[in-house]
Structure 1
Amino acid sequence: MFDDFFNVVKLRFNGGDEDEVPTFKCPRCQSPVPRDKYEELHRVCPNCNYHGRLPASERIAITVDKGSFTEFDSEMISGDPIDFPEYGEKQKELRKSTGLKDAVVTGTAKIKGIETVIGVMDSNYMMGSMGSVVGEKIARAFEYATEKGLPVVLFTASGGARMQEGIVSLMQMAKTSGAVKLHSDNGGLYITVLTDPTTGGVTASFASLGDVIIAEPKILIGFAGRRVIESTMKQRLPEDFQLAEFMQEKGFVDMIVERKRMRATLGHILALHGYKEKEV
């Protein structure tokens, strides 16, 4: 089972989508699925319920009320604080190929009529790594939500802190956590939705601080990798270690929600916490 899980993760990280291929081979069950069917289901395998990665634009489109999204800080781009070799060139290439300015998109939207601040991380941009722009945009989103008395829904997907920005990337852990705390102190609701993968410094900061923590099925959640932990502890870990279901069993995740039910579930949670549709 562990070998199968490792192969799934390897395929996810090494170009498993292959958008130009008419048939999608599921990295979990290995079944061939017509790509149009896979896309129709928003990148969910109809055979084994594997939840593939979604770009931020599609995630927003299937989550919020149509036409309600207004983006924050859309032109913010990263600098090169430690002069990391070729980092600037890499950023330019990614901005062109992905259409993103960095690894997170934030803004306001309505979910089932309820005004909400939403953030969506995109693994297509440097594996969703958190640098100065990701941290700043998330902190600003929480500050806006605190000021306006709005809830926050944040979809996480990240390989962790961005090494190309050195200690500046690590500082974002404290900054985002501080913004979450201020939002909480002012009575704001924060819902985290963990998607594949959520790891490293993102898990160790704002991803773990939600009032309600939701995860998609069988996604990878963790801080350090399995091999690092096993070599440190000198013992073998359970085969499902760091899967969403294991995390739910241990109390780290509150609920596991399939993609097709996510929008309705978020709307229900927001309503349960007293947020209502505002009259125009």
Structure 2
Amino acid sequence: MRNDEDFEINLTGSSDDLNTQSPTQEQKESGWFKRWRKGITTNTSEKKEMPEGLWSKCPECNYICTTSELDEAKYVCPKCSYHHRIGSQDYFDIIFDEGSQTALFENIRSKDFLGFTDLKPYGKRLDEIHHKASHLKDSMRVAAGTVNGKGLVIACMDFEFIGGSLGSVMGEKFSRAVDYCIEHKLPYMVISKSGGARMMESAFSLMQLAKTSGKLSQLSDAGLPYISMLTDPTFGGISASFGMLGDLNIAEPGALIGFAGPRVIKETIKRDLPEGFQRSEFLLEHGFLDKIIPRTELKEKLYQIISLIEG
């Protein structure tokens, strides 16, 4: 039986004798894991270069898979079914039939009406975001297409654009999408992912709550369905307006949904919150949602819903 010192030497190679002498045959046979020389280095020029973006790690279970595997799984973790956050184009590709989608109202961009400045001027912030994410003009994109042959208009938010915040451009795109649905007799779907109203636009942002809610009344008067899909996270002015006004309110598994965040609520009421509070499963159990639909089943379920509504 080796003593603790011998065991430590085997693991670390810290013995002075091992640093100066070649290993004996007995030492060679005693274990392959011994380090016979200290300070062994590798020439950096010999290291293999690993392409960036090849692997993805699940933030929920730490499972590591290739990005291509994650893409095939519609950005749902193959191990724990965690739904990764994705952008509007990813949702369009998942839901619409191939080659059927048409982008709408892409020419509308945000403006700094108030000359607002926080840590930096709002106008400069917009310029930086447009440069970084050139494919985005604002936090919402709208597209029309078909779902297994059934027509549908989708307005989807992009969280990477100022947290998917609700501003005047989102309100305008939302409203024009409703008008498009009424003109072409199409159902309307909104995929929400937002932190709430955009503070840099002040009252202009808050007025979008009334504007979007009013447009949904017009859609209802036209006898057209509105499907609201809530994803992680959906908070603030979105959940206080059109996010919860759907003829059918659905959500992704595990999505965090509410008005104020759980930490703010806990500090306000001075009480611990129930387990799973504000998760989509909690909201479904308490009657705030009609159904939770995994992303992998979304297209087929939407087709069934639209077919049922249209008769």
TM-score by length of 2: 0.79
Cα distance in 1, alignment partners of residues 152 and 63 from structure 2: 38
Asked if structure 1 preserves the Cα contact closer than 8 Å seen for 2:147 and 2:302, the reply is yes
**Displacement of 1:149 after TM fit?**
2.1
Deviation, structure 1 residue 40 = 2.3
Displacement of 1:81 in angstroms is: 1.8
Partner Cα separation in structure 2 for residue 23 and residue 149 of structure 1: 43
1:146 is aligned to 182
Alignment of 1:220-239 (within 5 A): 220-239=256-275
Counterpart of 2:71, as a letter, is E
| Counterpart selection for 2:126 from 91, 113, 130 | 91
Gaps of at least 5 residues in structure 1 are 1-18, 276-280
Per the alignment, in what secondary structure is the counterpart of residue 203 of structure 1?
Answer: coil
Which residue of structure 2 lines up, in the alignment, with residue 82 of structure 1? 114
> Does residue 246 of structure 1 match 2:282?
yes
CA distance in structure 1 between the aligned counterparts of 2:63 and 2:194, rounded to whole angstroms? 27
Question: Structure 1 residue 179 and structure 2 residue 211: aligned?
Answer: no
CA distance in 2, matches of 1:239, 1:34: 32
1:41, CA displacement in angstroms?
1.4
1:211 corresponding residue in structure 2? 247
CA RMSD of aligned residues (A): 1.5
- CA distance in structure 2 between the aligned counterparts of 1:34 and 1:116, rounded to whole angstroms: 32
Structure 1 CA distance for aligned equivalents of residues 148 and 206 of structure 2: 35
What is the distance in 2 between the residues matched to 1:63 and 1:93?
30
Match of 1:16 in 2: none
The 3-state SS of whatever aligns with 1:272 is helix
| CA deviation after TM superposition for structure 1 residue 145, in Å | 1.2
Q: Does 1:32 align with 2:69?
A: no
The reply on whether 1:69 has 2:101 as its aligned counterpart is yes
The verdict on how the C-alpha distance between 1:190 and 1:26 changes in structure 2, with shifts beyond 3 A counting, is same
**Partners in 2 of 1:237 and 1:50 — Cα distance?**
22
User: Equivalent of 1:59, from 74, 77, 91?
Assistant: 91
Is the aligned partner of 1:263 residue 2:302?
A: no
User: Which of these two proteins has the greater Rg computed from alpha carbons?
Assistant: 2
2:236 aligned with 1:200:
yes
The CA deviation at 1:39 is: 2.3
Task: For 1:272 and 1:96, locate their aligned partners in 2 and report how far apart those are by CA, in whole Å.
Answer: 43
What secondary structure does 1:237 align onto?
Answer: coil
Residues 108-136 of structure 1 show CA distances to partners (whole Å, capped at 9, x for unaligned) of 21111111221111111111111110111
Do the aligned partners of 2:142 and 2:153 also contact (CA within 8 Å) in 1? yes
Q: Which runs of 4+ in 1 moved over 6 A?
A: none
SS at match of 2:186: coil
Structure-2 separation of matches of 1:107 and 1:165: 25
Q: Which residue of 1 aligns with 2:80?
A: 48
Check the 8 A contact 2:92/2:143 in 1, yes or no. Answer: no
Instruction: List per-residue Cα deviations over 1:51-78 (Å, max 9, x = no partner).
Output: 0111111110111111211222111001
2: CA distance, partners of 1:37 / 1:70: 27
2:100 maps to a residue whose letter is: S
2:136 paired residue among 100, 104, 108:
100
Distance (Å, rounded) in 1 between the aligned partners of 2:52 and 2:259: 33
User: Given the alignment of the two structures, is residue 135 of structure 1 paired with residue 171 of structure 2, yes or no?
Assistant: yes
Q: 1:264: how far off?
A: 0.6
How many residues matched?
257
Q: Bigger relative contact order, structure 1 or 2, given CA contacts below 8 A and separation 6+?
A: 1
Which is worse superposed, 228-237 or 194-203? Answer: 228-237
- Select between 93-102 and 165-174 the one with higher mean Cα deviation: 93-102
- TM-score, reference length from structure 1: 0.88
